[in-house]
Structure 1
Amino acid sequence: MAEKRYLKWYNKVGYGSGDIAGNVVYAFLTFFVMIYLSDTIGLNTGIVGTLMAVSKIFDGVSDVIFGSLIDKTKTKMGKARPWMLWPYLGCGVCLFAIFSIPTSWGQTAQYAFFFIFYVMLNAGFYTANNIAYSALTALITKNENERVQIGSLRFVFAFTTSTIIQAVTFGLVEHFGNDAAAWRIVALIYVIIGIISNTVSVLSMKELPEDEIEAKKAVDAPEEKYTLREAVGLLVKNKFYLLILGVYLLTQLYTAFTGIGTYYMTYVLGNKELMGYFASALNIPMIIGLLLVPTIVAKLGGMYKINYSGYALATIARILVIVAAYMGSVPMMLAFTAIASLGMCPLQGDLNAVIASASDYTYLTTGKRIDGTMYSCTSLGVKIGGGLGTAISGWLLAAAGFIEGGVATQPDSVLTMLNVMYLWLPAIFCGLVTFLLTKLNVEKANAKLLEPKN
């Protein structure tokens, strides 16, 4: 008997388009905030990195809190949709503020201004929005293939948005005057795009009734009540949650260090316009692959093998990027970058479905539904991994002797460090992700738990 379908095509596209809004924030910050702060505002990369690292203290607490709040929310819009809709307005305000640091202020005030809005964005508004958005995967459909489909569509929109932002941002800044005011204008444009796309995405979906989501429960089962501490305990006891969190951290560290490409293209290759070409090599194969992931997963009957074998290919390709770089061949670097991205696309496409399966694992082993709390790994991984990656980048650049203020050339020590950060570290992260994925067979674990009931 065919598995019941819950979504129309416009629901799937609407859900996927929500990551336009997410990447307006994420891609813009990841790839451009550090170079904006160092080369336009003139702030020290090491101090900025420290502020970013300190902000993660707040992030670690807020993720589980918002996940728990979503689980306990009951409104006409559902559990997650209100949390996706309203906090994004705060995301827009904070993103604009971060790229609007007053140039007339002293540096201490500028650091404080940046830190306040960076914490509000990451630990508050972005957390609420992103966890809610991810949790919707389990709340709008119970069909495993549909979960993979909307996860793939989500990342198609995500990587398309990221590609465009990486390709056009420098050009837009130069068009508007290549100064602090230009960055404000570009930030405002992105904020408007984000608010519109987020609103459209929320309105295009409808959550399933709770009784249908929890159809496997006994009809007369009591309402689930648990404290934040109990929710954390349920997460920690789920080994697959911990594995997924590790994967998220490493993939976001990978993104953060490939994000240092803004510096690598400018100071090592000597042409910042190459950023658009490398962004295309990173993202276009990913977009194409993501469109094929649902079909491949359906034919293979699972996500486990395709995920770890794809990342094994990505690891080999990233090693070959290093070889090509030391040969001085930009075309070969682009080619192997594209192959690596193609290897990564299965996991990107089905990761939300893997998390949904991990949430099912918690339900099957404990009888409790914690979908919102479970999806805290998405926001926690993105913010901790991406934030620490950007912070560590700042520390390493400062330690290497990076000169702020947009100078034409950097010391050899900085160029060497950029090679380590942009070439070597991403390859290492890919290898570590491959290892974790060999342990992440949650589908098999769930099947074993269901066997006695069948």
Structure 2
Amino acid sequence: MVKKNKKTENPGHVSQRDMWLWQSRDVSRSVVILFAGFIMLYCTDTLKMSAAIVSVIMVVSKVCDGVANAFAGWIVDNTQTKWGKARPYEVLIIGLWISNWLLFSTPASFSMTAKIIWVFIMYTLVNAVFYPILYASNTVYIARAFKKDQIATIQSIGGIIIMLAAVIFNIAFPMMIKVVANDGAGWSKLAAIWAVPMMIIGVLRMIFIPEKYDIETTAKEKEKLNWKEVWGVLKKNRFLWILGFCGFLFNFVTSMGVQAYYFKYIAHNVGMMGIVSAANIISLPLVFLFPRWIKKFSTSKLMVVGFVISALGYLVNFVAGANVLLLMIAQVLVGAGNVPFSMLPVLLVLECADFNEYKGLRRMEGTMTSFTNLTNMIGAAFGSAGLGVFLSMAGYTGSTATNSSASLMVIRLLFSLVPMVLYLLVAFSLMGYNKLDKQMPTIREGLKAQKEELDAANVMKSEEE
């Protein structure tokens, strides 16, 4: 009897080893992002900085981030080493975590001016130095480490690993804040507790997952990328702008960090935040259905449905108050709806790269990933900064005894109706991506023919030599 090969039967098959190793760095990176959701609380309640000043720091830092993203993708797209185009940059995850630890280790003895400078520098190192290149290299790396069907499996089913890490963090971290982070030294210790294992986990895929596929279909892809070509793609690929706009709004919502304020001042129990976050476990099995749904409906349509579901969850938040059951129901809806856009944007960037190549442009996975990261980070900055601005305008003081009813209402709105409206806007915007969905079968067939022609030409050239 002939033994059947799973890879032959299912081109999307990925071994358990590769699945876990690939997600290792994304798990590490995701935890840093979750950490960022507590920066406003840390600065206002521990460092005693005004929310408005923290907002200014974030906005100014994002100017640096914009410059960094302009170069990050270009650097990765122009890299050629024995280890590949993107793989060498994985080591930057270590610098990311060291900077994050230093950010949450601002010396208490510093003057307020020194604290502001320290926070700005460390926040900028995290968001404008290490993160942009790590983010830009991700799409380039996965496109050369796995085949297209495998990528869909990794980004969907593999996403459950990241979700589990996020659930563990969201359950454990608020409890750890309550026990450990009672002062500046406690926050520093808490950041170190997470930094050490996350640095180790973060470098695993660089060590064990090689770049092994040459995906370029034209000789031009081997040439050095110039800025004229970059501007050409930004002008001609409107689908990339749709993705960037949606990423901006999505990260605006997810980066506000209003949850900590809500559970502290509305629910009056920060520890409850971890219990409510545990409800996300219910939505984890959904990711196993994503590969089938993607083939049937497309990635972008799956995202549209997800955002509508999340919007419903935020509506429930508005009436939940301190009711644990309603908050958990809302969390399940929001968490389940967020999963597609959280886990699958790489697939849309790769579709945009195929569109570029089909139109005679360079693929530029790294450059386009940098562009989407730029819009993501700007959205995150405006979300975090917006929280500070709104709280300051409403008279937030950082003290339960002196907070006004206006500041409490702002916290409620930012936890419910504001994100609901923004998510509905994202869903509407993503409908404009449908035009590319319809073109993709033709594009893939065209690129397949180009690849076969290039391979045949290379074989002929080798025979002649």
> TM-score, length-normalised on structure 1?
0.90
Q: Distance in 2 between matches of 1:173 and 1:191?
A: 15
Maintained 8 Å contact 1:137/1:356: no
1:394 Cα offset (Å)? 0.9
Task: Give 1:410's aligned amino acid.
Answer: N
Maintained 8 Å contact 2:12/2:152: no
Task: Give 1:279's aligned amino acid.
Answer: S
2:18 to 4, 11, 24: 11
Q: Distance in 1 between matches of 2:221 and 2:39?
A: 48
Question: How do residues 33-112 of structure 1 correspond to structure 2 at under 5 angstroms?
Answer: 33-85=39-91, 87-112=92-117
Secondary structure of 2:416's aligned partner: helix
CA RMSD of aligned residues (A): 2.4
2:289 to 292, 312, 321: 292
1:7 Cα offset (Å)? 4.6
In structure 1, the residue matched to 2:234 is 235
1:261 to 238, 259, 262: 259
Task: Give 1:235's aligned amino acid.
Answer: L
User: Is 1:113 matched with 2:118?
Assistant: yes
| Distance change (3 Å), C-alpha of 1:204 and 1:223 | closer
Paired-residue identity, %: 26
Q: Distance in 1 between matches of 2:328 and 2:177?
A: 25
More displaced, 164-173 or 198-207?
164-173
Secondary structure of 2:108's aligned partner: coil
Q: Distance in 2 between matches of 1:23 and 1:163?
A: 11
In structure 2, the residue matched to 1:424 is 417
Secondary structure of 2:107's aligned partner: coil
1:169 Cα offset (Å)? 2.1
Maintained 8 Å contact 1:53/1:391: yes
Task: Give 2:230's aligned amino acid.
Answer: A
Secondary structure of 1:208's aligned partner: coil
Question: Unmatched 5+ residue regions in structure 1?
Answer: none
Q: Any idea what the Cα deviations from partners look like across 1:160-218, whole Å, max 9, x if unmatched?
A: 22222222223323433611111101111111122111111222311124xx311x33x
2:314 to 313, 318, 321: 318
Q: Distance in 2 between matches of 1:60 and 1:440?
A: 25
In structure 1, the residue matched to 2:154 is 150
Q: Distance in 2 between matches of 1:308 and 1:52?
A: 30
| Distance change (3 Å), C-alpha of 1:440 and 1:225 | same
Q: Distance in 2 between matches of 1:163 and 1:450?
A: 37
User: Is 1:170 matched with 2:174?
Assistant: yes
Q: Distance in 1 between matches of 2:139 and 2:275?
A: 30
Task: Give 1:270's aligned amino acid.
Answer: H
More displaced, 285-294 or 364-373?
285-294
Task: Give 1:403's aligned amino acid.
Answer: T
Q: Any idea what the Cα deviations from partners look like across 1:87-140, whole Å, max 9, x if unmatched?
A: 222212210111011111110111011001111210101111122124323222
Q: Distance in 2 between matches of 1:393 and 1:271?
A: 20
Secondary structure of 1:213's aligned partner: coil
Maintained 8 Å contact 2:19/2:154: yes
| Distance change (3 Å), C-alpha of 1:197 and 1:232 | farther
Question: Unmatched 5+ residue regions in structure 2?
Answer: 1-7, 450-465
In structure 2, the residue matched to 1:376 is 370
Maintained 8 Å contact 2:12/2:151: no
In structure 2, the residue matched to 1:138 is 143
| Distance change (3 Å), C-alpha of 1:362 and 1:14 | same
1:222 Cα offset (Å)? 7.5
Secondary structure of 1:102's aligned partner: coil
Q: Distance in 2 between matches of 1:237 and 1:247?
A: 18
Higher relative contact order by CA 8 Å / sep ≥ 6: 1 or 2? Answer: 1
> TM-score, length-normalised on structure 2?
0.88
